[in-house]
Amino acid sequence: MQEELHQFDRLDVWELVDRPLCKNVINMKWIRKNKRDEENNVIRKKSRLVAKGYAQKEGVDFKESFAPVARLEVVRLFIAYVAHKSFTVYQMDVKTTFLYGHLKEKIYVNQPDGFVDPYRPDKIYRLKKALYGLKQAPRAWYDELSNFLVSKGFSKGSIDPTLFISKNWGDIFVVQIYVDDIIFGSTNLKLSKQFEKLMHSKFEMFMMGELKFFLGIQIHQSPRGIFINQAKYA
């Protein structure tokens, strides 16, 4: 929990303010989530502070909430393409993803239970960044990541806006995003290394190495090709 709150401070997510009159103030809660690998082993444990977004009022607390999400068919096409091009595909995970997204609306939340400022218990937080649970949080994160990639020379897919492509002196680099999970590969291994550094310069990342498990699909990469299965559900 302390690690999560440290991220809030580091990313300047909120600020304590006086309680405004006639404003909707949202409560928060703690949830715990485990991230698992292809063998269902826990590889990361997370404590996450989330807003009770069901209390938000449409048109007041949020307007746009839709965010593009990659379909499973798109991911399979991505894997088929990189197999055809003989790419090695890598995977990374963005830590505290939604905390990077900037909010357009003024959102207020109560101080979380157990972490109330003893000197200012009557104050509340005004959010500067998106919080898990908010209706607009996925959209805010997608816009932040999309704008960053486009500013670095990537082109957004015209049909699938979760696919980003970059071409450099005959080499091609492809990125597929699914919320906080990012898979990527290139005809040039150096470009993959450069992309890893690029992402680390903007976001706090967890590099997971070669792609082995994604959206319930187990993936095995070898010189003979890429093999996928869903043995977990067999």
Tell me the chain's radius of gyration from C-alpha atoms.
20
**Domain count across the chain:** 1
Q: Check: CB of residue 156 under 8 Å from CB of residue 146.
A: yes
Per-residue pLDDT of the chain (234 residues; tens, 9 = 90+): 777 888 899 999 999 999 999 899 999 999 887 777 667 777 767 788 999 999 999 988 998 889 999 988 899 999 999 999 889 999 999 988 999 999 999 999 999 988 999 999 999 999 999 999 999 999 999 999 999 999 999 999 988 999 999 998 889 999 999 999 999 999 999 999 999 999 999 999 999 999 999 888 888 998 888 888 877 665
pLDDT value at residue 38? 65
Would you state the pLDDT for residue 46? Answer: 75
| Domain region containing 30 | 2-233
- What integer pLDDT is reported at residue 188 of this predicted model? 93
Helix (H) / strand (E) element for 155: namely: strand 155-156
Beta bridge partner(s), residue 14: 127
SS in 3 state form for 1-66?
CHHHHHHHHHCCCEEEECCCCCCCEECEEEEEEEEECCCCCEEEEEEEEEECHHHCCECCCECCCC
| Nearest residue to 50 via CA among 145, 180, 137 | 137
pLDDT the model gives residue 22? 87
Instruction: Decide if 109 contacts 202 (C-beta within 8 A).
Output: no
DSSP single-letter state for residue 22: T
First to last CA, the chain: 36
DSSP 159-207: S-TTEEEEEETTEEEEEEEETTEEEEEESSHHHHHHHHHHHHHHS-EEE
Q: Tell me which DSSP letter residue 114 carries.
A: T
